[in-house]
Structure 1
Amino acid sequence: MNIIELPIEFEYEGHSYSIYPSLIVSGKELTLVDAGYPLFMPLIEKEILKQGHDPANLKTIIITHYDDDHIGALADFRAKYPSVVIIASEAEAPTISGMAKSERLVQAEALLEHMSEEEQPSGETFVDLLKKLQHVPVDVTVRDGEWILNSKCQILATPGHTSGHISLYFPELGSVITGDAAVKEQNELVVANPQYCIDLASAEQSLNRLKALQAQSYYCYHGGKLEIGLRAQQK
């Protein structure tokens, strides 16, 4: 088993951005961690092919949490690969499946009420985007401490960014896929977008939990891969 970072580069309103979904490779079977923004499926498929793998071998998609940049293309993946198994935490499954209103939408609507006139248009656009996200049934729900992927991957509850956020720990690989529980900034792990955390105190505790693992590699959805071992050698 190995983990491959999938750098997805795009432009929005004249600015360049990147996200970094992860691809877990076990033999010929592929597992995608997080599905990008709406309409991003072709970009992710292209990067999977670039890495030497066939998207047709995609067996599982793990969603770390409900946000537009993580579930946006999930419905497209399910439509094209109907046998794919979708995994998420028990807490996030109802919103991903459309059975409950997401925390992010509740937060965005609340923020909208207090925005200035200049901020209102962007706030309204974001609320509209969240309302239009397509929902997909979750096939398997997981809890903190459970093992998946042939007992090679442990689920870590890392709440804060959202209440049901999960990260993935691979002890044999010395690696963690953080989702948005951590972001790489200036070669360090920090809380991702603290201003948008549902619970900042919990987010800080989750970050400390990930750091305490002392993994060699942290795969962050924003900022990309952080190699702790390499950084230590450079010092």
Structure 2
Amino acid sequence: MNKLTVLEIEFDFDGDINVIYPVILSDEREVILIDCGYPKFLPLIKAAAKINGIDISKLTKIIITHHDFDHMGSLAEFKRAYPHIKILSSIDDEKYISGKEKSLRLQQAESIYNKLPEKQKESAKKFQDFIETIENVQVDVCLRDKDYFSCCGGIEIIATPGHMPGHISIYIKESKTLISGDALVVENDKLMIANPQYTLDIINAKNSISKLLDYEIDRIVCYHGGIYTKDIRKSLENIISE
């Protein structure tokens, strides 16, 4: 039986309560986690999976939507605990996840550092140091736009560059569900494009949203914000036109 489980991971980050929503896809043969949280999040994800009747040790694959620290932060931890897990990412993000090239988020942070007011530089340097602690992991399978897997209700990879150039979203054909990574967020009950401050190419990001209009979507799972179901097509059109 095909199953899509949205995990709700609540945590404290620098004194603020945050929530992320990784997804687990499963059927008789596969158990696939999409994004795996911040560093040291394995216990949190394991506990949330257990509440939903899923044994995290049965994972077969982890798909990373992009290499930001909150999406791949615990990837090395998962790989050490469960070496059999296959790691999948876009072909454009593989070099950053594996450590062949410097994280684009770190490059962005370094590029703006000297332009910051002096009072902001201490926290900015801490952020850079934090990103540098993210462990790299070898990617087993590189994904391309329109790649399709018949497991778990039919998985289609959608290249959605913008937030990062190698960002991907995942469409589940059977349930008409889009797992959007950071291509979209839900804030104050509204579907929105991810924070422009952290979106490396806002024009490309909007072009990626336009692509989603080609899909029949009944539900969007945003990594930040959770499940969105209200008038999806109109919401996407509004984002594009803004």
Take 1:36 and 1:83, find their aligned partners in 2: how far apart are those partners?
19
Distance of aligned partners of 1:145 and 1:28 in 2 relative to their CA distance in 1, 3 Å threshold: closer
| Greater mean alpha carbon deviation, residues 7-16 or residues 204-213 | 204-213
Residue correspondence of structure 1 range 1-235 to structure 2 within 5 A: 1-27=2-28, 29-150=30-151, 152-228=154-230
Shift of 1:214: 4.0
Q: Is contact 1:176-1:219 (8 Å) kept?
A: yes
Take 1:24 and 1:160, find their aligned partners in 2: how far apart are those partners?
25
| TM-align CA RMSD | 1.8
Q: Name the SS for the 1:176 alignment partner.
A: strand
Q: Please, what TM-score do these two structures have when normalized by structure 1?
A: 0.93
Shift of 1:159: 0.2
Take 2:129 and 2:35, find their aligned partners in 1: how far apart are those partners?
21
1:221 is matched by which residue type in structure 2? Y
1:205 is matched by which residue type in structure 2? N
Taking every aligned residue pair, what percent have the same amino acid on both sides? 39
Shift of 1:115: 1.1
Distance of aligned partners of 1:127 and 1:29 in 2 relative to their CA distance in 1, 3 Å threshold: same
Shift of 1:212: 4.6
1:226 is matched by which residue type in structure 2? Y
Shift of 1:213: 2.4
Shift of 1:228: 3.3
Q: Deviations over 1:126-181 (max 9, x none)?
A: 11111111000000001001102538111100000000000001122110100000
Q: What count of residue pairs does the alignment treat as equivalent?
A: 232
| Greater mean alpha carbon deviation, residues 185-194 or residues 60-69 | 185-194
Distance of aligned partners of 1:12 and 1:226 in 2 relative to their CA distance in 1, 3 Å threshold: same
Runs of 4+ in 1 over 3 A off after TM superposition: none
Note the residue ranges of structure 1 that are not aligned, 5 or more in a row: none
Q: Please, what TM-score do these two structures have when normalized by structure 2?
A: 0.91
Distance of aligned partners of 1:191 and 1:219 in 2 relative to their CA distance in 1, 3 Å threshold: same
Q: Name the SS for the 1:169 alignment partner.
A: strand
Shift of 1:229: 6.6
2:124 is matched by which residue type in structure 1? G
